[in-house]
A and B are shown apart, each in its own frame.
Chain A
Amino acid sequence: MSTLATAATAAEERSGQPLVEVSDLRVRFRGYAGREARALDGVSMSVGSGEIVAVVGESGCGKTTLARSILGLVRPSSGVVRFRGEELSYGARALRRYRREVQLVLQDPTGSLNPRHSVYEAVAEGPRVHRLKDESGRVARALSQAGLRPPERFALRYPHELSGGQRQRVVIAGALALDPRLIIADEPVSSLDASVRGEILSLLLQLRDELGVSLLVVTHDLGLAWNIADRIVVMYLGRVVEQGTTEEVLHRPKHPYTRALLSVVPEIDQREPVVLAGETPDPCRVPAGCRFHPRCPALASGAAAAAGVADDCVGTPLAVLPAAGGHSAACHLHP
């Protein structure tokens, strides 16, 4: 583990509690034909202060719903979100105070910025909403923290005059203008060019090191997680199926789903790719037993039967993984 991650863990231990913790969070939506979609079906996880956590999984696994619940944009059907140990309350005033501390950065910076607002106006919107003093000072500081230096050169430009990477920096500056403690980034680089990607990821690392901001990065890109994350949470069909430090999860993956995800990362000299058939199954129809069993290569190959757990895979549901439990996986074969 790097010294940075150790420092972050040490800070968390001193304060005795993670910055954000969700426990047994469940979110249901009304699905088609009167069915209920279980978008989050029991998720426990946490983000420590100054920690970078990557939530990975396929589309429809619930990773964006998790991010939205932490932001207070979705009210869970059951379970709680705690920020600095306090339960999130959903009153308008409390949420407004909360959102100064927790900010969101989305995938597509072009879609996030109003084309008729200058960079200054885009970044000043947060401070205005929260009626903060010294608006121009805040904007200038946020712009230079986001790497748009000198800030006055960028303040009066419009989004169409900027490159993709610069636009994403403006969006990040908009979040920084409120001095948040947690930034939630949903696929922050997937719409950017390859050469710009590294620059934005470096910026995120730098924000953690210099400002101590925590980051929750929602992504399907395991290379991104390897580049910047301290810990990885792997989600499948509304549940966390594996979590641990980045090294643990990527070097010694336990869950067959994590192994399959790793095997399809385009890489030279890779292991034999395990291309799972089908796509993420339907959250309206969660399979019995282990929810991954219909696609599980370990069950299909007979490895689970050889270990004598095949009946459990098909019939025995797995417990929700606890938020603090080191490297753990929700699997009958590789617990």
Chain B
Amino acid sequence: MSVLELRDVHLTYRTAAGPVPAVRGVDLTVDAGQVVGLAGESGCGKSSLISTVLRLQPKSATVAGQVLVGGKDVQTLSWSALRAVRWGEAAVVFQGALHSLNPIQRIGAQLVEPILVHDREATPRTAGARVGELLSQVGLPARYADQYPHQLSGGQKQRVMIALALTCDPQVLLADEPTTALDVMVQAQVLELLTGVAAERGMGVLIISHDLSVLATTCHKVAVMYAGRVVEEGPAREVFEHPRHPYVRALARAFPTIGDTTSRYAPAGLPGDPPFPDHLPSGCPFHPRCPEAVAQCPSVDVRLWPAGPGRAAACVHVDGAEVHGAGLR
């Protein structure tokens, strides 16, 4: 059963310089117990997309399409129904979470608050007991409830943020760059925790990261975004090992396999920079940086097209890709 379903989601910011399309038609589903990865670079629209799931997008943004959490369209819910969905059915661990804790409140007090707000039967006493359980679930001793955030290390704060997201037992957990500021060892601990939580509670988890190698080893399924669209999706390992889209190939190569002699003294990059959403190149937005671009790329707009079992890619090089563009219909 899918706990989160995005259907043709668009998000456009209104700015003084005109509309800026940040998300341009994304379909994505997360099933119960499934860990899904969403990869992409800064400005590709991944954080904007996540903001729609709890209807947290700013007022200047217009959203089209459907965002279904547990079958309910979040974008059209009434305020009171929306409040029940936030935390209760879907919870987010935000990017830069290390600075999201209140510095002058003890960890325990911060964990108790959402429980008391969302669970009408909870008393301060039962909520306190629940805090101990939550902390031990994320691998922290229960006595940490009495600590202040500054007494914790980065990895410990990230664990508290995950505990905070779990307080109301949501069906889906979204984690925006949960490991970027963390060390390799702590990163491994946090990822282990997230996948463990998904398996134990049958929760859907969506992890957003710019590091494809991290997603490949932790997720069941991965979707890669570029310029506001998903350009490739499929089973995580297959996408990482045999990418079909040239952009995904470049991303996968950017993180070398240690011991692979072809990458020794040869860091692989991609010339150019990701496009700004207000100045998208024509046709396939990746064509100016694409090492495999052909004559038709600047004029045709390729949509996701099946590229093997459970896989899809948006590139003219995928067999049978349907292209929309000048004279090529």
Give A contacts to B, CB under 8 Å. 2, 4, 58-59, 163-166, 193-202, 205, 220-223, 226-228, 246, 250-251, 260-262, 264-268, 270, 273, 275-276, 279
Contact B183 A59 (CB under 8 A): yes
Contact B185 A275 (CB under 8 A): yes
Contact B42 A193 (CB under 8 A): yes
Question: What residues of A have a CB within 8 angstroms of the CB of B289 in the complex?
Answer: 195
Question: What residues of B have a CB within 8 angstroms of the CB of A268 in the complex?
Answer: 216-217, 237, 240-241, 257
User: Whose C-beta in chain A lies nearest to the C-beta of B237?
Assistant: A268
Question: What residues of B have a CB within 8 angstroms of the CB of A261 in the complex?
Answer: 184-185
Q: Does B26 contact A (CB under 8 A)?
A: no
Contact A267 B258 (CB under 8 A): yes
- Residues A58 and B185 in contact in the complex (CB < 8 Å), given A228-B265, A268-B240: yes
Some 7 contacts from A to B, beta carbons below 8 A apart, are A4-B265, A163-B273, A196-B269, A226-B258, A227-B265, A266-B218, A276-B185
Give the complex CA separation of A163 and B155 in angstroms.
29
**Which DSSP category, helix, strand, loop or mixed, fits chain B's interface?**
helix
Contact B41 A279 (CB under 8 A): no
Contact A223 B256 (CB under 8 A): yes
A164, A200, A264 — which one has the most chain B CB atoms within 10 A of its CB? A264
* Cβ contact of B257, chosen from A163, A221, A267, cutoff 8 A: A267
Contact A194 B212 (CB under 8 A): yes
Contact A222 B258 (CB under 8 A): yes
Give the complex CA separation of A275 and B241 in angstroms.
24
Interface readout for B115-157 with A: 1 if CB under 8 Å, 0 if not?
0000000000000000000000000000000000000011110
* Cβ contact of A195, chosen from B189, B218, B240, B270, cutoff 8 A: B270
Q: Does B263 contact A (CB under 8 A)?
A: yes
Give the complex CA separation of A237 and B255 in angstroms.
27
* Cβ contact of A198, chosen from B240, B247, B270, cutoff 8 A: B270
User: Whose C-beta in chain A lies nearest to the C-beta of B266?
Assistant: A227
Contact B269 A266 (CB under 8 A): no
User: Whose C-beta in chain B lies nearest to the C-beta of A193?
Assistant: B41
Count of A-B residue pairs with CB < 8 Å: 125
Contact B269 A199 (CB under 8 A): yes
Give the complex CA separation of A310 and B257 in angstroms.
34
Separation in Å of the B241 CB from the closest CB of chain A?
6
Contact A227 B271 (CB under 8 A): no
* Cβ contact of A264, chosen from B41, B155, B185, B240, cutoff 8 A: B185
Question: What residues of B have a CB within 8 angstroms of the CB of A275 in the complex?
Answer: 185, 188-189, 192
Give the complex CA separation of A59 and B181 in angstroms.
10
User: Whose C-beta in chain A lies nearest to the C-beta of B274?
Assistant: A193
Q: Does B99 contact A (CB under 8 A)?
A: no
Cβ < 8 Å to A, chain B residues 231-263: 237, 240-241, 247, 250-251, 253-259, 263
Give the complex CA separation of A58 and B186 in angstroms.
9
User: Whose C-beta in chain A lies nearest to the C-beta of B218?
Assistant: A266
Q: Does B109 contact A (CB under 8 A)?
A: no
Contact A267 B251 (CB under 8 A): no
Separation in Å of the B212 CB from the closest CB of chain A?
7
Question: What residues of A have a CB within 8 angstroms of the CB of B217 in the complex?
Answer: 266-268, 270
Contact B258 A265 (CB under 8 A): yes
Separation in Å of the A205 CB from the closest CB of chain B?
6
Question: What residues of A have a CB within 8 angstroms of the CB of B210 in the complex?
Answer: 193-194
Question: What residues of A have a CB within 8 angstroms of the CB of B154 in the complex?
Answer: 59
Separation in Å of the B271 CB from the closest CB of chain A?
7
Q: Does B48 contact A (CB under 8 A)?
A: no
Pairs of residues from A and B, 9 with the lowest C-beta to C-beta distance, nearest first: A198-B269, A201-B267, A199-B269, A195-B270, A264-B188, A163-B273, A193-B41, A227-B267, A198-B267
Q: Does B64 contact A (CB under 8 A)?
A: no
Interface readout for B179-212 with A: 1 if CB under 8 Å, 0 if not?
0000111111100100000000000000000111
Give the complex CA separation of A59 and B157 in angstroms.
15
B254, B268, B269 — which one has the most chain A CB atoms within 10 A of its CB? B269
Contact A250 B259 (CB under 8 A): yes
Contact A279 B213 (CB under 8 A): no
Give the complex CA separation of A166 and B257 in angstroms.
26
User: Whose C-beta in chain A lies nearest to the C-beta of B267?
Assistant: A201
User: Whose C-beta in chain A lies nearest to the C-beta of B44?
Assistant: A193
Question: What residues of B have a CB within 8 angstroms of the CB of A58 in the complex?
Answer: 183-186
Question: What residues of B have a CB within 8 angstroms of the CB of A267 in the complex?
Answer: 213, 217, 257-258
Contact B185 A195 (CB under 8 A): no
Q: Does B14 contact A (CB under 8 A)?
A: no
Contact A227 B251 (CB under 8 A): no
Contact B273 A266 (CB under 8 A): no
Give the complex CA separation of A166 and B274 in angstroms.
12
Give the complex CA separation of A265 and B184 in angstroms.
7
Separation in Å of the A331 CB from the closest CB of chain B?
18
Interface readout for B260-304 with A: 1 if CB under 8 Å, 0 if not?
000111111111011000000000000001000000000000000
Separation in Å of the B274 CB from the closest CB of chain A?
7
- Residues A195 and B254 in contact in the complex (CB < 8 Å), given A220-B184, A227-B267, A267-B213: yes
User: Whose C-beta in chain B lies nearest to the C-beta of A223?
Assistant: B256
User: Whose C-beta in chain B lies nearest to the C-beta of A260?
Assistant: B185
Give the complex CA separation of A101 and B157 in angstroms.
40
Give the complex CA separation of A276 and B184 in angstroms.
11
User: Whose C-beta in chain A lies nearest to the C-beta of B188?
Assistant: A264
Q: Does B101 contact A (CB under 8 A)?
A: no
* Cβ contact of B269, chosen from A163, A197, A250, cutoff 8 A: A197
Give the complex CA separation of A227 and B41 in angstroms.
21
Q: Does B214 contact A (CB under 8 A)?
A: yes
Question: What residues of B have a CB within 8 angstroms of the CB of A193 in the complex?
Answer: 41-42, 210, 273-274
Separation in Å of the B242 CB from the closest CB of chain A?
11
User: Whose C-beta in chain B lies nearest to the C-beta of A190?
Assistant: B180
Question: What residues of A have a CB within 8 angstroms of the CB of B263 in the complex?
Answer: 226-227
User: Whose C-beta in chain B lies nearest to the C-beta of A197?
Assistant: B254
Separation in Å of the B236 CB from the closest CB of chain A?
10
Contact B42 A164 (CB under 8 A): yes
